[in-house]
Structure 1
Amino acid sequence: MKPVRSLARALLSGIFLASGVQQLRNPAHFTAQAKPVTDRVTPLLEQAGGALPSDAETLVRANGAAQVAGGLMLATGHFTRPAALLLAGSLVPTTLAGHPFWTADDPAARMNQQVHFLKNLGLLGGLLLAAADTQGRPSLRWRAGHRIGHSRRSVQRAVRTARRETRLAVRTAAAARRLPG
């Protein structure tokens, strides 16, 4: 299954690498499309203390950098679950800004944008699967439950052993009192 996982992650990351590089090279091309989304996000960023950039071009560059970093991590198999979550997070504003089919008046343009919007939803589904993939290893929930069960059994064994040894000690002490001496 590992070769299939590796191939799937490499194929899934390709669109993010290409898109991220384009956003980094030419952010002005994407800024006009991103403006409606960045205008909604800007007040939230300013409330965060102004430490985060709020202009559209910088946000486009940051999104591109996130896509390149996440795409590289996903493709190489390093930190795949966080990388998939990072890419999923960057895909949501990209989809909303890049493919607002509900605003298109021309039926052909509307259909084209809707197809791309649905394609991005499919990518989002693939990223969520990649984020949930434990690569054949037990999940953290299972491992934690298994450890708790193992610890509980160990404590029960220790309690039984302590009771048994206490009974033996009491019997030995009672027998020692009965001996003449």
Structure 2
Amino acid sequence: MSVVRRLARPALASSFILSGVDRLKDPASAAHLEKAVSLAASTSPYLSVLKGQERLVGQALAGSQVAAGSLFALGKLPRLSSTVLLATGAVNAYLEFMTTEHDSKEQKSARVNNLVKNSSLLGAIAIASVDTDGSPSLAWRASKLSDKVAKKSEQISSDVLDKADNLFHS
């Protein structure tokens, strides 16, 4: 792993971990999830079990952020963990923006600044989620495996046809 990744991943993950820990410490902070959970519960019968479970949903989001942030900081499963951070971060950023007070000029300014900060973090984690760290991506690996299988199949097919031809012409 390069020096930049060794330094940048923990720095980027720290914001998500800290946010997750703060939300875990204060389960009442999940009150802003009420509208989102109600909306999700009304869209699908499978999600209807979430109605009234804002605290549990908040803890699940926070726990996911802490776990994924820790894995990302350590360089373990970086693409998966950064994708989880992207998803949970996007949900939290949206809900935070929608529920933040914005009556006064100062509140509006703080709300916009927070939105820009969260957008920047999401952009950085989005880039990290597609960083292959010098290793080929899964799509590239699958393509190469497919090419190998096709080539080997052609070779086997050719060998079988040659043997069958030899049997019938001998």
Q: Distance in 2 between matches of 1:60 and 1:101?
A: 15
1:9 maps to what in 2?
Answer: 9
Structure 2: runs of 5 or more not aligned: none
Q: What's 1:114 paired with?
A: 112
**Contact 2:79 2:131 (8 Å CA) reproduced:** yes
The separation in 1 between residues aligned to 2:103 and 2:67, in whole angstroms, is: 36
What is the root-mean-square deviation in Å for CA atoms of aligned residues?
2.8
Higher-Rg member (1/2): 1
CA contact (8 A) 1:37 1:96 kept: no
CA distance in 2, matches of 1:68, 1:154: 45
What's the TM-score, normalizing by structure 2? 0.80
Deviation at 1:34, TM superposition (A): 4.1
TM-score (norm: length of structure 1): 0.76
1:90 aligns with 88
Please, which moves more after superposition, 12-21 or 105-114?
105-114
- Cα 1:50–1:163, aligned 2, differ >3 Å: closer, same or farther? closer
Identity, % of aligned positions: 24
SS at match of 1:100: helix
Q: In the alignment, what sits opposite 1:24?
A: 24
Q: State the distance in 2 between where 1:48 and 1:76 align.
A: 35
Shift of 1:10: 0.7
Distance verdict in 2 for CA 1:78–1:106, change over 3 Å? same
2: distance between equivalents of 1:170 and 1:35? Answer: 76
CA distance in 1, matches of 2:19, 2:52: 21
Structure 2 residue 125 is matched with structure 1 residue 127: yes
In structure 1, what is the equivalent of residue 134 of structure 2?
136
CA drift of 1:102 comes to 8.9
Distance across 1 between alignment mates of 2:115 and 2:161: 67
Q: Deviations over 1:51-95 (max 9, x none)?
A: 446333333222221211111111112222221122122112211
Letter in 1 for 2:66: V
Matching residue of 2:46: 48
Inter-partner Cα distance in structure 2 for 1:152 and 1:31: 52
Distance 1:39 1:103, change over 3 A: farther
**Structure 1: which 5+ runs fail to align?**
174-181
Query: What is the CA–CA distance in structure 1 between the aligned matches of 2:21 and 2:163, rounded to whole Å?
Result: 70
Go from structure 1 to structure 2 and tell me whether the alpha carbon gap of 1:70 and 1:53 turns closer, same or farther (over 3 Å shift): farther
